[in-house]
Amino acid sequence: MASPAFDDKQERMMSDAPPAHYVVKIQSLSLLSKHSLDKYETRVFQAGGYKWNLVLYPNGNKSKNVKEHVSLYLSMAETSSLPSGWEVHALVRFFLLDQDKDSYLIIQDSMRKEWRFHRMKLECGFDQLMPLKTFSDVQNGYLMDDTCVFGAEVFVTREKSTGKGENLLMIKDAISQKHTWKVDNFSKLGMEFSESKVFIAGSQKWKLRLYPDGKGSGAGAFVSLYLALANVDTLPAGTKVFAEFSLRIMDQLQGRHYSGKANHWFSPSSPESGWARFLSHATFYYPNMGTLVKDTCMVDAEVTVLGVVNAL
């Protein structure tokens, strides 16, 4: 029999007993590679109160630059329903059937360490479970008639679901979106503020909000102008959106527009940003300024979403 070579991070032993939690038998293994299936994921199984599946790379996990080895991992499945901040520690044992001796080679962490699973690490295992040369040698009994049998046991030792976290995604090559709002019958608006139709920028919903008689420090003497998240009530808890934006009131006569530029972390607790003193009434209502023509005002916005925070 060929002398097997293994990763020194592994502890190995033999057992006549099959794995307690899951077994997968693969027939015509070579056809996986023939059909460009570099990875095989088993169906979901339960162990220790959680759901798992096995992920097998018969010719090595190329994403980790593994060559000439079998890669095998245990992955947590269906985790979206788990509470915030969940964490699971488990002792994991992989099994490989020696079909010639009808016994199982058990492979586990050499220090018998618990593997730690959490939302940012759903998968643990061995990049180099076994050299392909050893696995494919018929004398070792692991691959016979192009058939092999793998398995796993998962013993959950510790678990927790306390604490909270967040994930910040900064957006590379963010795309700016423009929106123009025509405000007709300006003198008849009558309400404290007027809102534009909802528009989309960076997969978020937005609206413009204009206060003809001003807001806050601009009340009574200025036009106030703001950008606001339009779907605050339906945003998942913990969501924040970092956006750069520019707002303009258009000069419809001479093209000398009045603009402001800023950035802001938008969230349910801070859903809008803009300027209380965007443009004075003296300027806005002056006949030759072009900001109010035939009782119509034109507002232009450009929004770039640069980052999004979601709760973990």
Question: CA–CA separation, 128 vs 113, rounded Å?
Answer: 17
Query: Which pLDDT value is given to residue 35?
Result: 85
Q: What is the mean pLDDT of residues 11-22?
A: 94
Of 300, 299, 304, which Cα lies nearest the Cα of 266?
304
Question: CA–CA separation, 9 vs 107, rounded Å?
Answer: 10
Q: Torsion-angle region of residue 253: left (phi > 0), alpha (psi -120 to 50) or beta?
A: alpha
Tens of pLDDT, residue by residue over 166-196, are 789 999 999 999 999 999 999 888 788 999 9
Residue 162 pLDDT exceeds 70: no
Query: Which pLDDT value is given to residue 312?
Result: 66
Give Cα separations from 288 to 7, 210, 284 (angstroms). 81, 21, 10
Least confident range from 38-42, 49-53, 84-88, 304-308: namely 84-88
Residue 259 pLDDT exceeds 90: yes
* H-helix or E-strand spanning residue 178: strand 177-183
Of all residues in the chain, what percent carry a pLDDT higher than 70? 96
Question: CA–CA separation, 148 vs 158, rounded Å?
Answer: 32
Q: Torsion-angle region of residue 55: left (phi > 0), alpha (psi -120 to 50) or beta?
A: beta
Question: CA–CA separation, 104 vs 116, rounded Å?
Answer: 25
Q: What is the mean pLDDT of residues 18-27?
A: 95
Least confident range from 2-16, 44-58, 140-154, 163-177: namely 2-16
Query: Which pLDDT value is given to residue 233?
Result: 87
Average pLDDT, the chain: 92
Torsions phi, psi for 238 (to 5 deg):
90, 0
Q: What is the mean pLDDT of residues 67-82?
A: 94
Alpha helices in the chain (DSSP H): 30-34, 132-136, 281-284
Query: Which pLDDT value is given to residue 2?
Result: 39
Q: What is the maximum span of the chain, computed from C-alpha positions, in angstroms?
A: 98
pLDDT bucket at 86, cuts 50 / 70 / 90: confident
Give Cα separations from 158 to 78, 87, 117, 152 (angstroms). 19, 8, 10, 18
* H-helix or E-strand spanning residue 107: strand 103-109
Total residues belonging to the chain: 312
Query: Which pLDDT value is given to residue 3?
Result: 39
Q: Distance from CA of residue 201 to its chain's centroid?
A: 19
